[in-house]
A and B are shown apart, each in its own frame.
Chain A
Amino acid sequence: MALANADSSPEHVPRPRRLRLDLTTPILLGLPLAWLAAFFLVPIAIVAAYSFDVYSLNPGPHGFTLTAWHDFLHSSVYLRLFWKSVKLSLTVSAIIVLLAYPLAYYLALSGTKRKYILLLLLIAPFLTSYLLRVLAWKVILGNQGAVNTFLFWTGLRSPDHPLSQLLYSRFAVMLVLGYIWLPFVALPIFVSLESLDRRLLEAASDLGASRLQAFRRVTLPLSLPGVVAAFLFVFIPTLGEFVTPSLVGGASGYLYGNQIVDLFSTGFPDWEIGSVLSIFLLGVVAILTVVFARFLQPGEVTVD
């Protein structure tokens, strides 16, 4: 009421500060939105246009058609390859979340004074190039690599019979992806565990919960948003990954991302099908992100 009186006062003059705020907000929001529209939404729209043959790289008549989408959705080859990539990404994401959780738990909750030094060590590989980190595995996994050399030295394998499926295989892709993405997974889990209210753990202990029960009913539910975020951090990029498979995957490690790249740039340009594969991947990732985002809300502590 007092505010209404103040507004109706004949002496009230709109303050210039409010006007500035009104202009500042659209400017602050407008620039990133314009950037997003120009360099994200418009390119996606162009790729979508290629998928419907509205645009075409090849000369000759072309116009809106669903042919490429029809070919894709009726091709067991492409869908099987997509499923192969989904399975591989899910497996890699699940395994490294399981591996990263104890690591993040130790760093966040053990109370060690060196936790930030250890954290720095964990992310140290990021100081080198992604490509170098992948290529280093070729040195380790090859027929004459570190692993096989060790096996020869111990006499477990003879030089004529090295472990040859280490490199250029699906296993190699999973191993290298796991190595590359492990720090990405550990960080969000670490942040979520470190922000945990320790008094809840003390309360659980005071109420007679064992350490395992406290973990299961307090720590895990409250750190779940970090776990889900970490899982997404790995799953989304590895689903479209093509660098690692092309370097260490060989014929059996060929993934959906490689197929997209190849359709655009090798053999004969097939930008229509390549665009369909890209838009399909984008759609699936968007849907999964929305679904997983529901789990990003803070969990609740369970009470019997």
Chain B
Amino acid sequence: MDKHEGTEKRLSREQLLRLTAAAGGATLLGSRFDTAQAALERLGAESGRLQVLDWPGYGNDGGQAMFAQYVKTHPSNKPQFTQMTSESDALGRIHAGLKPDLFRPYVGWVKYFATSGLVQPWDTKQISNFKHLNPFMVKAGQYNGKQYGIPDDWGFDAILYRSDKVHPKARSWGLLFDERYKGKIAWYDDLEMLVMAGLYLGFPRPYRQSDSELKKSQKLLMSKKHLVRLIWSSETNLWEAFGSGDLWIAYAWPNDWVQMKKKKLPVVYMRPKEKPIAWVGMFMLMKGSKRPHLAHAYVNAWSSARSGKWLEDNYGYGHANTLARPSSSALLRALQLTNPKAVTEPNAHLDRDIPRRALYARMWEEVKAS
């Protein structure tokens, strides 16, 4: 039995027809026959369900929208999701033996994972939608000239408040420290809180604060913690507390504003004068993935304008595909979707590698414990 017979036996009839068509198409386009043959062999060798480590909610639609194109073309390799609650959680799972094909950390972790030896760069030629992705976000996914992160969802960290209850003295992060609203304020459970405190205190490099600056940021947070009712880590928890009136002010994402609007609450999503923090989700391909080509196909589906519109309409996040436009003009304005530089300086502080991330994290944990 030669090698080709073995490959064919592993494929369903449908897969074989599709691959034959792909190989034929490649031949027609002038590729060498052995290239098409190699592609067929690679795809044929990739079997089983695509293993995706992703945040809760991103597998919920069952392949009807965000990655519909992938499910349609690879019905035998539907994604199987494992949920991650943070990059730290993902790292722990991977070290414990989880072997996903791809996962989605956020932009601040690109350098960490690129240098960790856990991931490999993408072959952007296999992602036809790549050319439509926001170039600033694409650049943020690079390390040493290689594309380790494919940008996808993005948004801002800013302030959500009830306009019928809260009257800010200024458009500032300081609203999260306003004594008048003691017991009605929510912070976000992440070390970005130290970055935000640094922005509020006017430090020039909030992601690279000196020891004394970090201490001042931590001291500010510790001294204002008594005002805080909830330090949220789950959006549903925030929506529930905000929706029921337990909270009036929150460190929040655009999606939270969308959800509160849906509840008919009078809410404002305020851009602080110190500028919001921006974040971008980055798909990363695991080194040693058994299904790299399927992973590329999956990410390509996510990167389509159609997926982007769905994400914007339903989740209130931005999408890296510059052709994606939400149905809501209010969301279009809030996310500044017509501005390709929305996530970068001077409009916003794009999340980035924090060289002393471990120290930031420990100091934030101390704030919570205080």
Contact = CB atoms under 8 A, between A and B. Distances in A.
Contacts of B191: 267-268
Given A143-B244, A251-B228, A266 B92 contact: no
Contacts of A80: 369-370
B89 A144 contact: no
A164 interface: yes
Interface residues on A, range: 35 or more
Contacts of B226: 252
Given A251-B228, A254-B231, A266-B86, A162 B366 contact: no
B244 A77 contact: no
B358 interface: yes
A78 interface: yes
B92 A57 contact: yes
Interface stretch (B29-37, B53-61, B182-190, B281-289): B182-190
Given A77-B366, A259-B365, A265-B92, A250 B85 contact: no
B41 interface: no
Given A267-B361, A268-B191, A142 B183 contact: no
A142 B267 CA distance: 20
Q: Determine which residue in B231, B241, B244, B246 has the highest number of CB atoms from chain A within 10 A of its CB, and name it.
A: B246
Nearest to B366: A77
A250 B368 contact: no
Nearest to B183: A164
B189 A270 contact: no
A268 B360 contact: yes
B358 A57 contact: no
Q: Determine which residue in A77, A80, A254 has the highest number of CB atoms from chain B within 10 A of its CB, and name it.
A: A77
A264 B184 CA distance: 29
A134 B226 CA distance: 24
Nearest to B369: A81
Given A75-B366, A265-B86, A268-B88, A168 B229 contact: yes
Contact of A251 (B88, B190, B229, B360): B229
Interface string B168-196: 00000000000000011001011100000
B362 A270 contact: yes
B86 A168 contact: no
B224 to A, nearest CB: 11
Interface residues on B, range: 35 or more
Contacts of B246: 142-143, 164, 167-168
B117 interface: yes
A172 to B, nearest CB: 11
A24 interface: no
Contacts of B358: 58, 268, 270
Nearest to A167: B246
A65 interface: no
Nearest to A57: B95
Contacts of A168: 229-230, 241, 246
Interface string A245-280: 000001110100011001111111111010000000
25 contacts: A57-B91, A77-B366, A77-B369, A142-B241, A142-B244, A142-B246, A143-B245, A143-B246, A145-B244, A164-B183, A250-B228, A251-B228, A251-B229, A251-B230, A259-B368, A265-B92, A266-B190, A266-B233, A266-B361, A267-B86, A267-B190, A267-B361, A269-B88, A270-B365, A271-B92
Given A57-B92, A251-B229, A265-B89, 10 more contacts: A57-B95, A142-B241, A251-B187, A251-B231, A252-B226, A263-B365, A264-B88, A265-B86, A266-B85, A266-B361
